[in-house]
Amino acid sequence: MIRPRWLVAPQEFKGTLRAAEAANAMAEGVRSVSPEVVLDIAPLADGGPGTVDALLEGTRGERRRVVVRGPMGTPVEASWALLDDGRTAVVEMAAASGLSLLPTSGHDARHACTHGTGELMRTALDSGCERLIVGLGGSATTDGGKGALEALGYRFLDASGRTLRPGGASLVDLSRVDASGRHPALGRVELLVATDVSAPLLGPDGAARLFGPQKGADAAAVEELETALARLAAVVGEGPAQRAGAGAAGGLGYGLAALAGGRLVSGYELVARALGLERRVLLADVVLTGEGQFDRQTSLGKGPGALAQLAREHGTQVVLFAGSVRREDGLNPSLFHQVVDLSAAPTTTDTPAGILREAAARWAAARLGH
């Protein structure tokens, strides 16, 4: 008898489950009712939280940990990965400078800093890697990458030659950037900057105005940060500021591209290639994916939406398990063979993993007629 083969490839359920946790919950649900199914587990990521997990899941490598400076200066333990026998290092900026690391109160978005991300990058460069991937999603910062670059040896100076204060707001006083002390490995390593958004640095869809409020910036702070980032672009160069992804992670995309030779790439596409996702879709009878909210961004081809488009090219059905469904203009349910809305699903548990596990079990039982 030919056993059915299903690919389980969810993205993170933001704020509740990492992609690997979601994949494990879905797999447990399927196995509880359908042990005959062969499961291929491939947690997805798009450059944000879970990127290190996803790449470790799909390739050989090891996780390493280091204590670095958090977004408001307090120490945090962050992990990164070394893959391919040491040739490729993966750093997740959310692990060092992410929203989840902000204190519940008393923080100031104008002063949040990416220094810890730069410390992770420096540790990775010291390992001797030939390629460095930096995932940019989930940031708490809007400093144009200043903190990260300072950790890599750059100096951001005012007109009197003094070093600027931590955080993005101080960039309003920027006069010049001194790169003479930058980490020597930056000149030889391939630096890939994996973005989860296509935002430019400035403007209504940019780092400060679009994303600043999510990071605790009020209207006045948003405009202060916009002015500061505009000053950074004026000093360093306006060209890279318009690139898609330059505004990712509060402008860290811009800083790494304009000053460190980084190449902005789609985080989802990078992870998909590393996981050999197309080949795995071809081998699957059905694909089970998931995310926290099914919305217009999914329909535009973000994460599970992109996976659905890939599967459609090969005639493979994709089922989406969504924490909730945001019914809005631009939503395209036809991307998926079926959408399971977890917020409307019956459940005997109140844990996110338990709800997802039960929903996957019910779907599998119905699919196989159990």
Task: Give the Cα separation of 63 and 174 in Å (integer).
Answer: 37
Whole-number pLDDT of residue 230: 98
Looking at residue 301, its pLDDT comes to: 64
What residue has token string 């060209």?
239
Interatomic CA distance for residues 225 and 231, integer angstroms: 10
For the chain, 370 residues long, the average pLDDT of each consecutive 10-residue run is: 91 90 96 95 90 84 96 96 91 95 88 98 97 95 98 98 98 98 97 94 97 95 98 95 96 98 94 92 97 81 86 94 87 89 93 97 92
pLDDT reported for residue 1: 65
Does the reported pTM lie above 0.85?
Answer: yes
Q: Which regions of 267-345 does DSSP assign to beta strands (E)?
A: 286-294, 317-325, 338-341
pLDDT of residue 331: 81
Token pair for residue 165? 């204060």
By C-alpha distance, which of 177, 121, 125 is closest to 146?
A: 177
- Walk me through the domains of the chain, giving residue ranges and CATH numbers: 5-43+285-368 (3.40.50.10350), 51-268 (3.90.1510.10)
pLDDT at 49: 87
pLDDT at 104: 81
Give residue 367's Cα distance to chain centre. Answer: 32
pLDDT computed for residue 300 by the predictor = 62
Q: What is the pLDDT of residue 233?
A: 98
Burial of residue 204, with CB atoms counted within 10 A of its CB: 0-12 exposed, 13-18 middle, 19 or more buried: exposed
Q: Longest C-alpha distance within the chain, in Å?
A: 77
Q: What is the pLDDT of residue 299?
A: 64
